[in-house]
Amino acid sequence: MTIGFIGLGLIGGSLAKTIRRVRPEIRLIAYNRTASVLGDAMRDGVIDQQCFEITPAFRECDIIFVCVPVITMHGILKSLTSFLKPGAVITDVGSTKCDIHELVRKLGIEDHFIGGHPMAGSEKTGYQNSTDRMIENAWYILTPGSEVPISVISDFSEFISSLGAMPLIMTAEEHDYVTAAVSHVPHVISASLVNMVKDLDGKEEFMRTIAAGGFRDITRISSSSPNMWQEICLANSENICIVLDRYIRRLTDFRFAIRNLNGERLLEYFSECKEYRDSFAADSAGPINKDHRIYMDIADEAGAIAKIAGILASDGISIRNIGIVHNREFEQGVLRVEFYDGKSGKRAARLLSKKGYHIYED
pLDDT digits (tens, 9 = 90+) for 78-136: 889 988 999 999 999 988 999 999 999 999 999 999 999 998 877 678 899 888 888 88
Lowest mean pLDDT among 50-54, 67-71, 121-125: 121-125
The pLDDT of residue 303: 85
Q: Would the pLDDT of 277 be above 90? A: no
Long-range CB pairs of 242-247 (<8 Å, 24+ gap) are: 242/177, 242/180, 243/180, 243/181, 243/184, 243/185, 244/185, 244/188, 247/185, 247/189
> Do residues 138 and 119 touch, judged by C-beta distance below 8 A?
yes
The pLDDT of residue 219: 81
**Of 139, 129, 211, 213, the residue nearest 182 (C-alpha):** 139
> Do residues 296 and 335 touch, judged by C-beta distance below 8 A?
yes
Q: Would the pLDDT of 284 be above 50? A: no
The pLDDT of residue 223: 79
Share of the chain above pLDDT 70, in %: 92
User: What's the farthest any 2 CA atoms get from each other in the chain?
Assistant: 68
Comparing 266 with 277, which gets the higher pLDDT? 266
Whether the full predicted model's pTM is greater than 0.85, yes or no, is no
Q: Would the pLDDT of 332 be above 50? A: no
Residue type, 77: L
Distance CA 284, CA 166 (A): 12
Comparing 49 with 138, which gets the higher pLDDT? 49
pLDDT tier at 282, thresholds 50, 70, 90 = very low
The pLDDT of residue 333: 52
Share of the chain above pLDDT 90, in %: 57
Q: Would the pLDDT of 14 be above 90? A: yes
> Do residues 221 and 190 touch, judged by C-beta distance below 8 A?
yes
**Mean pLDDT (the chain, rounded):** 87
pLDDT tier at 271, thresholds 50, 70, 90 = very high
Question: Could you read off the pLDDT of 142-198 as tens digits, one per residue?
Answer: 999 989 999 999 999 999 999 989 999 999 999 999 999 988 999 999 999 899 999
The pLDDT of residue 239: 95
The pLDDT of residue 244: 95
| φ/ψ of residue 114, rounded to 5 | -125, 105
Mean pLDDT score, 32-58: 94
Domains with residue ranges and CATH for the chain: 2-170 (3.40.50.720), 175-259 (1.10.3660.10), 291-361 (3.30.70.260)
Mean pLDDT score, 260-280: 89
Q: How far is CA 297 from CA 274, 305, 318, in A?
A: 27, 11, 20
The pLDDT of residue 362: 53
Lowest mean pLDDT among 17-21, 133-137, 233-237, 298-302: 298-302
Question: Could you read off the pLDDT of 195-241 as tens digits, one per residue?
Answer: 999 999 988 888 888 776 677 777 877 877 788 889 889 989 999 99
Distance CA 236, CA 99 (A): 8
> Do residues 90 and 108 touch, judged by C-beta distance below 8 A?
no
The pLDDT of residue 328: 40
